[in-house]
A and B are shown apart, each in its own frame.
Chain A
């Protein structure tokens, strides 16, 4: 980040929620970079920003769309990059259309789109038609221009409530990074993801960055500031419901066998210049199955594919809570998760927990979830759930790796023994698996998926995490000879696989997570390296500090940082450079060792993870449209100015929502603080942190305070259609009302860290939030809803 000339922090608050990252943001500022903060509140990040622009929660697509339009209109895009490295030149099929807020092929009943209607126009060779002059009205570039021409400055400012001069200052400063020798990065977090159009929000960011040529360069990128220190690790290893480790797709009910699964999910391309790296899906899938089932997985039995659960729908958090509430779940295991505070519509969730037969919570402290059965206002006698609480070790009490926002997996040693009976998660899962295996030996419905699991993590009480890491990296199951270009490599059975390009689909390799292949090689644990020498180009890549996926490539898509001949667009910040004499790339691990694109025979496009090989300005596989379109959040104080469709059409809206501004006149939003963390289980019992932020509070503007007679420190009651909570009010000039189509709409800001468990208690912000989520990911719309606030309220 220190290489950025402009840092746009939108929907995130790095100073408060990623304080260590701020060191590098300040390095960028020291080098002349500009920090641009776009946030509903003037946060600690905004206090350090060169420009701050206020934005109404939920209107990020309008904001970003306006910037896209601005860049296009003022010719601030990186032309060569757009033409050569994105699908701007692709022709869209004739049927594709967008009218009055809806893309073509929308099914009103099902509330879904048919993405086939958005396909590219294909020519004889099977490749999409292209117009490299970008003039064809059916080309992606022109379609995009047309789509975003509606996002004029006046229009977007009346939607977002931003002051025009603030908006222009940010747009100007950021779009200036479209120059080939300038770099801009967009930092984002839950502020834009937790929305019914969260995915499209990030899409808009990606589009803007591609137009400005900011992907793959030093100081560029679309950078998620992850909300937990190892959430990157959790998604890498497939903890989300729709993926397997390494972002492989989780099989669905209609993927009846391995062949049809691979058929469905392995992308294909006819373009020889597209590396289409996901084309290797079979290799990674089979290697994963070998890791899980070991010698039991053979080509004959589809590598135990039948043992994988087949998903028949959406198993997202909200869906699970919904099922639980209907009494359709027998039991629930919450490992380091606190749904009673962390999920939307907390009251419903807490009710729903009472419908379980049994609940297991694994945590360092008693959480609101683990004591839901004796929460205030509830008689434990009325709840039949059997609750088990397993004490867990903290991160310094166990050995393992943590993957940060930069994909660096940093290995950590065990510093102290856990207290009392607390155990590491690895021990707990190991015990679970072994006990289940033992129980299933005696029989049961379909025991093989458990009994046939390969489970070899040592014979000691504490499983050997190094064995886990080695399996994740992968090893050869038999002696292998592999020819790689002009090299012939010999591997012995049991050797660690040095990188994922050597993984096979015939069962000769094991890899628990292909993207981490290379992290634990025969040279040892690469993740434990701590050499703080920066690379010669001094860009802050620190190639010998820990290990990052893939293959320790610090900046992905870095082939887009050079021109067609392999010369860096900005020689002063060269990530990679083609050495024509030695015929290889110098610098970071190149994103594909192939020669530059100019080489028609061997060169490949930079965006190797999509089948086109080119960045998708137009994206076919999202549920709510190939282009982001601004819709209002489900609960909104304003009519959608851009079209007749008020909110995202692809989202099903639950019952307890209300846009009645007479009942709920204010915009509510949630956020986090530096001093507390997540649902507060780990921080609200530490006196030093409680000293800093001792109680649940809400932030309101001075005008709202005056209007409601609320002074700083007064007790207030905040209500939404979901429920009502009490807190103390912090009245500040850092929050201001939004100018929404001429009317001033106030906002109420709520941290969501509090609950009824722990040393410092308070009402939970998520009692108020709606359980409606993004059409693609089901992430709840925590960040924009409607509420009311009144002075007074008695402490429960």
Chain B
């Protein structure tokens, strides 16, 4: 079959993002099923380390290495990728549902006049190479299965942790250095600065484990016990709208409608009643644990495991128990 399966290998500061490896791992299965080669697209500057990490994951590695690409901008990434797409005619182009992906893919798809499925929670490919994407609508109240027109490539953004990273990738990519041609005539945006958030943790939308507390935490300083639990689990800390509205936590950590959707392997909710706006944001988490003092709390309807109890008692004990368990493997 003509065409290639491509994955946009997003990198940050020279390191390839985990979502890209997840998609390449899934892409490998798609490639095998349809008999197409698997390609990865890497754009940036000083990409030696990134390149090496990608070689086992793909058949072809297309690299644009230029200082002007060091920081992502649709003004540079889009024309570069579009040109190669038109040259090579891939059948599928996947990316992670990250801030970059969401900024780039819709515009690129419009530019290429091709189909695009945002924020997918599942993805399969038919024998004939047609992509089938599953994505939530209405904030997660309903899911849809989406198919694509004949236009190529079929583009999709996929959520973190939808696929797992192949622990033993066995490919050996052929590296193609693509010359980057700067379109200086075009009016462009300029990135002036990047402000790092004070805490270095992974964004909740990408984290594998998220622990969260809601109104039940009673006071902002009590988040300390949640942070300690998060440290042991190497988790990110999320929260609900209630605490963000109070000013105790930041919007970037809010889970649910008007906040973020998370698709963690493990989600633990402490003192969260389970209002619909929140639970729709956790629907795709694999394992959900809820702890609340109210036996009738709605959160228990959306959890796999539940404990009715006092979070101020349970969380520190959980932290201790995990410290013991996780150290003696």
Q: Do A and B come from one complex?
A: no
